[in-house]
């Protein structure tokens, strides 16, 4: 029996010890808002090195360097903050992600479009930064809030027909997580069949289709600009729509409903619930 070669073993151990062990990210560039919010809620706000110009939650993130808009990024600013991870969202930031990769940066692109995928993003981001337990706790908290709201919705006398408008020209109906939240809050999305469309063009609707679905409540959230309620109320051919006749046309701030993160599942859902409960109580 040949005895183990001790010198070779020791040499192998020295070699392994000299190799750099991969570390958790310590400087993260968040190019959309929801990852900023999640990191802070996980107690990892100190890892955020740069943010989108649209980042608002929590207020302390506003002091971080602004390195991007949504479909545009300042790559010099991104490189200046020396991130060891860049977080992007969806195909709309695919070109930004590709350029970051070409510049030698590590990039993760999330593409959450549903409530379940938002919860999954929370867990995945927690794993990336070593906050698995905190992420599980946050996911459970968000899930419990959804359950509580859905339970309250079962007591509504009716489930109002809801048209959620994401853009006015062309008309775009709500993205999947918004459509799902409408249902959680007790409403019926009149264009629910469109919510699985990956691109905005898959959710284009014609004005006469809205009229035909006769929503009892119209909720609008135009990303990047304020909703012009009077403009909606005065749309040609819409005078007979129940929501128009009753004046049930309202804005939901895009900052709490069109960003696929925790705020949509809490603040955004609460706004939907208030409007839907009021309309449902009218019968």
Provide the pLDDT for residue 231.
Answer: 97
The answer, yes or no, to whether residue 47 has pLDDT greater than 80, is yes
Instruction: Tell me what pLDDT residue 145 has.
Output: 98
List, as own/partner pairs, every contact residues 243-248 make where C-beta atoms lie below 8 angstroms and the sequence separation is at least 24, other chains included: 243/163, 243/215, 243/216, 243/217, 243/218, 244/218, 246/216, 246/282, 248/216, 248/217, 248/218, 248/275, 248/279
The model's pLDDT over 112-132, given as tens digits with 9 standing for 90+, comes to 999 999 999 999 999 999 999
Of 188, 240, 193, nearest in space to 219 by CA:
188
177 and 93 within one domain: no
Over range 85-96, report the average pLDDT.
Answer: 96
Question: Does residue 226 share a domain with residue 185?
Answer: yes
Q: Say whether pLDDT at 2 is over 70.
A: no
Is 177 among the domain residues? yes
Does any domain span residue 118? yes
Render pLDDT for 181-218 as a digit per residue (tens, 0 to 9). 999 999 999 999 999 887 889 999 999 999 999 999 99
Q: From CA 58, how far away is CA 41, in angstroms rounded?
A: 9
Q: Residue 198: its pLDDT value, please?
A: 77
Same domain? 123 vs 174: no
pLDDT of residue 234: 97
Do 94 and 213 lie in one domain? The reply is no
Structure tokens at 263: 């705020």
Give the pLDDT score at 5.
52
Structural domain includes residue 10: no
User: Within a domain: residue 20?
Assistant: no
Residue 104 pLDDT exceeds 80:
yes
Residue 12 maps to a domain? no
Q: Where does a domain end: 96, 112, 143?
A: 143
Query: Over the stretch 133-148, which tens digit does the pLDDT of each residue have?
Result: 999 999 999 999 999 9
Q: What is the rounded average pLDDT of the residues 41-56?
A: 97
Pair 204, 125 in one domain: no
3 confidence band (pLDDT: 50, 70, 90):
low
| Residue of higher predicted confidence among 60 and 6 | 60
Residues 176 and 136 in one domain: no
**Does a structural domain hold residue 91?**
yes
Domains contained in the chain, number = 2
Residue 235 near residue 210 (C-beta atoms within 8 A): no
**Distance between CA atoms of 203 and 12, rounded to whole angstroms?**
59
- Both 162 and 263 in one domain: the answer is yes
User: pLDDT tens-digit profile of 210-253?
Assistant: 999 999 999 999 987 899 999 999 999 999 999 999 999 999 99
Q: Could you give the CA distance from residue 99 to residue 67 in angstroms, rounded to a whole number?
A: 14
Whether 150 is covered by a domain: the verdict is: no
pTM of the model as a whole: 0.91
CATH number at residue 68: 3.40.50.1980
The verdict on 195 and 277 lying in the same domain is yes
Residue 21 has pLDDT above 70, yes or no: no
What share of the chain has pLDDT > 70, as a percent?
96
The model's confidence at residue 152, banded by pLDDT at 50, 70 and 90, is very high
Clarify whether residues 227 and 260 are in a common domain.
yes
State which residues form the domain around 275: 155-282
Name the least confident of 17-26, 73-82, 214-223. Answer: 17-26
pLDDT tier, 7 (very low <50, low <70, confident <90, very high otherwise): low
Last residue of one domain, picked from the residues 110, 143, 176: 143
Q: Does residue 96 lie within any of the structural domains?
A: yes
Residue 108: per-residue pLDDT: 98
Range 97-106 average pLDDT = 98
Asked if residue 8 has pLDDT above 70, the reply is no
Q: Are residues 165 and 77 in the same domain?
A: no
Q: Based on the fold, state whether residues 135 and 168 are members of the same structural domain.
A: no
Q: In this model, does residue 55 exceed pLDDT 70?
A: yes
Out of 143, 172, 190, a domain closes at 143
Residues 162 and 75 in one domain: no
């Amino acid at each position: 029996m040949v005895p183990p070669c001790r010198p070779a073993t020791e040499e192998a151990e020295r070699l392994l010890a000299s190799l750099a062990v991969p570390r958790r990210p310590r400087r993260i560039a968040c190019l959309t808002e929801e990852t900023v919010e999640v990191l802070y809620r996980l107690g990892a706000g100190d890892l955020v090195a740069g943010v989108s110009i649209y980042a608002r939650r929590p207020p302390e993130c506003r002091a971080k360097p602004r390195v991007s808009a949504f479909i545009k990024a300042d790559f010099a600013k991104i490189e200046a903050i020396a991130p060891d991870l860049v977080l992007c969202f969806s195909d709309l930031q695919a070109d930004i992600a590709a350029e970051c990769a070409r510049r030698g940066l590590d990039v993760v692109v999330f593409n959450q479009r549903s409530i379940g995928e938002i919860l999954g993003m929370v867990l995945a981001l927690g794993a990336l930064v070593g906050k698995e337990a905190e992420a599980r706790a946050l996911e459970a908290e968000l899930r419990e809030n959804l359950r509580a709201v859905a339970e309250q919705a079962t007591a509504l006398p009716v489930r109002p027909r809801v048209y959620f408008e994401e853009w006015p020209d062309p008309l775009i109906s709500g993205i999947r997580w918004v459509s799902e939240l409408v249902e959680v809050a007790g409403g019926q999305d009149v264009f629910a069949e469109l919510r699985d469309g990956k691109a905005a063009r898959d959710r284009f609707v014609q004005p006469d289709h809205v009229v035909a679905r006769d929503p009892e409540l119209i909720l609008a959230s135009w990303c990047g600009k304020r909703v012009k309620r009077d403009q909606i109320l005065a749309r040609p051919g819409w005078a007979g729509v129940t929501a128009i006749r009753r004046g049930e046309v309202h804005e939901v701030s895009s900052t709490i409903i069109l960003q696929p993160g925790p705020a949509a599942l809490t603040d955004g859902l609460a706004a939907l619930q208030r409007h839907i409960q009021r309309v449902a109580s009218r019968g």
